[in-house]
Amino acid sequence: MIERLNREEILRYLGYKDSGVTERIEQLLNRCETETLKILQPKYIYRRFPIEKCDEGLLVSGTALVLAGRDIQEHLKNCHEIFLLGATAGIELDKRIRRYMVTEPDVGVVMDSCGIQAVEQIADFAEKEMEREAAEEGCHLTWRYSPGYGDLPLEAQRELVRALDTHRKIGVSLTESCLMMPSKSVTAILGISDTKRDDRKNKCDFCNNRERCAFRKRGTRC
């Protein structure tokens, strides 16, 4: 599924630009990418659901998941169905990062960024499958939107992972504060629409960290 990690993205997470990469960082990248790919346990699951309006927002049919908030309703306008997605890089990567954070913190930091990029690439891989399925019907997808974006409560995560049965299917569970374990895991909502949308690049508009974002200050985005 993943043969290489996107180093440009990893460096961006670390706050580096190409011109500022030292020999030491290159060595760390080589080591951490190799090790990450060796222990990576990529898994993902997605399911397709109709959605309907309700008093609280949008109800995901056949589940107890309600997508509350104006932002998600705007994001899914003109959408008649959605995909729910869950993806993870696996628990072994978590264990290795924790160990290095204690024994070799510089390695731990770089491997943490490798893990972030790895799970993004796993989600990208799954999204391409969903795009192909939608395209066969002449439909299009919105970009990925996750609980905690905009005014969609993070607590929506509970019913989302329940709808996907992520604990049993891909080994992803939630803490009491709705954080995912393994930590290098993501969930997302993708709208299915007959209309091609232009909002794939507008994730910043919905982000609660918009005004404090280090990426935006550097002229980039996450």
Sequence-distant (6+) residues with CB within 8 A of 212 are none
Q: How high is the pLDDT of residue 197?
A: 65
Q: Domain 7-217 belongs to what architecture?
A: 3-Layer(aba) Sandwich (3.40)
**pLDDT tens digits for range 60-93:** 999 999 999 999 999 999 999 999 999 999 999 9
Residue pair 58/76 in contact by the 8 Å Cβ criterion: yes
Q: How high is the pLDDT of residue 208?
A: 52
Tell me the residue type at 179: L
- Predicted confidence band at 172 (pLDDT cuts at 50, 70, 90)? very high
Q: How far, in Å, are 129, 133, 148, 190, 191 from residue 46 at the CA level?
A: 10, 12, 19, 10, 13
Token pair for residue 1? 């599924």
Q: How high is the pLDDT of residue 219?
A: 44
For residues 94, 100, 106, 108, the Cα torsion angle rounded to the nearest 10 degrees is 0
pTM above 0.85, yes or no: yes
What percent of the chain is modeled with pLDDT above 70?
A: 87
Q: Which residues of 170-187 are buried (b: 16+ CB within 10 A; e: fewer)?
A: bebebeeebebebbbbbb
The yes-or-no verdict on residue 19 having pLDDT over 50 is yes
The yes-or-no verdict on residue 217 having pLDDT over 50 is no
The yes-or-no verdict on residue 99 having pLDDT over 80 is yes
The yes-or-no verdict on residue 137 having pLDDT over 70 is yes
Q: How high is the pLDDT of residue 215?
A: 44
Find the distance separating the first CA and the last CA of the chain, reported in whole Å. 22
Q: Which of 9, 153, 142 is nearest to 85 (CA)?
A: 142
- Predicted confidence band at 200 (pLDDT cuts at 50, 70, 90)? very low
Query: Distance between CA atoms of 94 and 5, rounded to whole angstroms?
Result: 17
For range 168-173, the mean pLDDT: 98
- Predicted confidence band at 16 (pLDDT cuts at 50, 70, 90)? confident
- Predicted confidence band at 21 (pLDDT cuts at 50, 70, 90)? confident
Q: How high is the pLDDT of residue 77?
A: 92
Domain residue ranges in the chain? 7-217
